[in-house]
Amino acid sequence: MDRSVIHLDFERIWPSVPYILEGVQVTLAYTGVSLALGFICGILLTLCKISHIQPLKWFAGIYTSIFRGTPLLLQLVLIYHATPQLTGYDISAWQAGILTFTLNSAAYLSEHMRAGINALDKGQMEAALSLGIPYPLIMKDIIVPQAIRNILPSLVNEAIDLLKESALISTIGGADILRRANIVASEKYLYFEPLLIAGALYYILVMILTSAAHLLEKKLKTS
């Protein structure tokens, strides 16, 4: 057989494209919800890291080292399969996915945030404290907003990572873009075509995310 000719049979795939497209909202739901929850958990974790209470520091350090030190896929499969066995609670693929991605991205985000806060001038904190502003308000109104503006590029990076890593959900049966492409692939015995479509979808999503972040960055710079 002449393998020099790349034979792509998109015609057989077209009727199934809407099915793959439905995966976009699934992928976006996993990414968006995990990112939002991971952001909140990340802030809490960062506060632990920069606090002066030793046990909180230890907790945050151990937490981060565990979630950064093991593969995300392993965390996902463990949470999905071990939870029913250990607790008797039948965790769904959606819950397991959100839980894993949230916990995992919280670990990474907290490191970015810690770096962002450390980069701020210590004088700001000292000045605010000497003015008698309570610690929670200093954090909420002075430190965290500046830190977040500084680390916006790394936050966007994390969001892009999460968007692509959400494809791992297909291993436990979540019907995201990749899983749907694989189902079409096995239905039609065609490999490249559905995967190329999935690849294009991920690329478009990441491009949209990148340009949105770019706009946001510009706006924050001027304000």
Position 15 contacts another protein (CB under 8 A): yes
- Judged by CB, which is closer to another protein: 81, or 218? 81
Reported as type and span, the H/E element at residue 216 is helix 192-222
Interacting residues with another protein between 52 and 91 (CB under 8 A): 80-85, 88, 90
Position 140 contacts another protein (CB under 8 A): yes
**Cβ neighbour number for residue 167 with a 10 Å cutoff:** 19
Binding residue (CB under 8 A) for another protein from 51, 92, 118, 124? 92
Position 188 contacts another protein (CB under 8 A): yes
Position 212 contacts another protein (CB under 8 A): no
**50 in Cβ contact with 114 (< 8 Å):** yes
| Distance in angstroms (rounded) separating the CA atoms of residues 222 and 94 | 39
Binding residue (CB under 8 A) for another protein from 28, 175, 209, 216? 175
Number of residues that bind another protein (CB under 8 A): 38
Look up residue 95 and give its amino acid. Q
Evaluated on CA atoms 76, 151, 138, 51, the torsion sign reads positive
Question: Which of these, 116, 209, 92, 223, lies nearest to 156 by C-alpha position?
Answer: 209
Position 145 contacts another protein (CB under 8 A): no
| Distance in angstroms (rounded) separating the CA atoms of residues 123 and 140 | 17
The footprint of another protein (CB under 8 A) covers: 1, 3, 15-16, 19-20, 33, 36-37, 40, 80-85, 88, 90, 92, 94-95, 140, 170-173, 175, 180, 182-191
